[in-house]
Amino acid sequence: MRKLRIILVWTLVSLFLQGGAYSLLNNKIRGVMAPLAASEPITLNLTATIPGTNLENIQISYAKDYLAYTENGTFKIFNLIQGKQVFEKKSPSNTDKTLGVLTYHWLPDRNTLLYFYTKKNPNEVTTVTVYPKSKVTPKQNLTPDELKTEDPNQTIEKVVPVKPWTEKRYGNPQITELYSLELPESNDDTPPDDRFNQTIDKLPKGGKIENVVFSTSSNLIYLTVKSESTQLLMEIDVMKNVRTLNKSGEAIDNMAASDRNGTLYIDSKIGNTRKLIALNGNKRRVISNKSNDRILGIRDGKVYIGEVINNELIKIKTTSDGSELTNPSLKTEWEGIIPFQNVRMLIGLKGQVVVYDNQIAYIVTDGQMKEIKFVGVENYVSVDGAEHIQLNQQGNSTLVELKPLKSEQ
């Protein structure tokens, strides 16, 4: 009995140790696969001076230590901690504004940036040799001499060889490439890893990428591309497949991708009909038939919808992300008036709705709104809603100042 008790005790100890190890391993894996679970966003207080004054499309990394921007058509990355430029990619043309880096976006959970780069196709016109089948003359058209044969039952046909010819084939005049740029820790001098991912041959010539959103959980990229005659909604999956999702004649004003299941929410307009639609592949669900409803964003399983009338946001409503219901019930979270023309908008890490321009930010949290007035020439808010980025020109340079947005209350 004593030996049996010892065996039983050690068996239980072994099970507890295995359970603890598995739990620790699970937590480690969860931390790698879902780094967004951090309760607090990263914020910094710092100033940096960037050479140049014509900085456009300002985007800050999730750790707030790198700033991406374009200057006179050149895409650049500036290390704010070390105070130096660490990457640039020039346009292949000094005159064609449709070439070069079209758009770029930081991933929400690491110092990795994706960007689209367009250049001229050096092989837009190719010449191919066509080898047709030989021409066959039917038996009834053969001459008497051609009909002579030792076997009267044999089918005789005259085969006349046809010479091959060349044809010109026309491809897309532009090549669009997708790159990922991975940057080291900001105190590390290791060069960024600029990695080519794939070529996208379906973008029309001169097409402008208007909007790009990511679903990191499902590794899907969605983008809207505007050309002279049409707008395309495209999806790129982890296998590098590219497909078009929009209907004929459909215009898409804004969109947001689920951070959990890859669902894409779009403001859809066909003719005079506006709807808020949820897309899962080719499957569509109507979230709202109200023509004034607009998708604001998604955060932590909640879809944020704004009611906009006469360029004013008058109501914020929410519904659950991933619901299979068509026309689900929408919960009103806030009512009031916020100017909604020529503004930027985001859903912060805490679920706050931030609407801002260069002078003022309106922040709605838990049904309450506050205003933060900005100073400076240009002002931006990080996509997690935590950091204020202020830009001011100083001679031939630009002074960048970072501070937590909440410190300005």
pLDDT digit string, tens, across residues 296-325: 999 999 999 999 999 999 999 999 997 677
Mean pLDDT of 349-371: 96
Task: For residues 115 and 54, state if they share a domain.
Answer: yes
pLDDT, position 136:
56
**97 or 391: which carries more pLDDT confidence?**
391
- pLDDT tens sequence across 240-297: 899 999 998 999 999 999 988 889 999 999 999 999 999 988 899 999 999 999 999 9
Q: What percentage of the chain reaches a pLDDT higher than 70?
A: 81
Confidence of residue 154 (pLDDT cuts 50, 70, 90): low
Residue 177 shares a structural domain with residue 161: no
pLDDT above 70 (res 12): no
What is the pLDDT, as a whole number, of residue 408? 47
- Looking at residue 172, its pLDDT comes to 78
Do 47 and 399 form a contact (C-beta atoms < 8 A)?
yes
pLDDT score of 144 more than 80:
no
Same domain, 102 and 133: no
Q: Which long-range contacts does 50-55 make (Cβ < 8 Å, 24+ apart)?
A: 50/78, 50/85, 50/397, 50/398, 50/400, 51/85, 51/396, 51/397, 52/396, 52/397, 52/398, 53/393, 53/396, 53/397, 53/398, 55/391, 55/398
Mean pLDDT across the chain, nearest whole number?
Answer: 85
Q: Are residues 115 and 197 in the same domain?
A: yes
If asked whether residues 55 and 160 sit together in one domain, one would say no
| Shared domain check, 133 and 115 | no
Q: Both 90 and 185 in a single domain?
A: yes
Write the burial class of residue 40 (CB in 10 Å: 0-12 exposed, 13-18 middle, 19+ buried): exposed
| Residue 396 domain boundaries | 40-120+172-206+373-409
With respect to residue 162, please indicate whether it lies within any of the assigned structural domains. Answer: yes
Last residue of a domain, which of 166, 193, 228? 166
- Is 334 within a domain? no
Is 316 a member of any domain? Answer: no
CB contact set of 236 (below 8 Å; sequence gap of 6+): 178, 198, 200, 220, 221, 222, 223, 242
Tell me whether residue 358 is in a domain.
no
Q: Are residues 189 and 111 in the same domain?
A: yes
Considering its fold, how many domains does the chain have in total?
Answer: 2
Are 106 and 188 in a shared domain? yes
Q: Do 97 and 52 sit in the same domain of this protein?
A: yes
Confirm whether 393 is domain-assigned: yes
- Please report which confidence band the pLDDT of residue 97 belongs to, taking 50, 70 and 90 as the band edges: confident
Give domain status of residue 52, yes or no. yes
Q: Long-range contacts for 286-289 (Cβ within 8 Å, ≥24 apart)?
A: 286/326, 286/327, 287/319, 287/326, 287/327, 287/328, 288/327, 288/330, 289/327
C-alpha closest to that of 182 among 131, 233, 115, 122: 115
Domain co-membership, 148 together with 110:
no
Question: Is residue 32's pLDDT more than 60?
Answer: no
| Same-domain pairing of 147 and 196 | no
Q: What is the pTM of this model?
A: 0.80
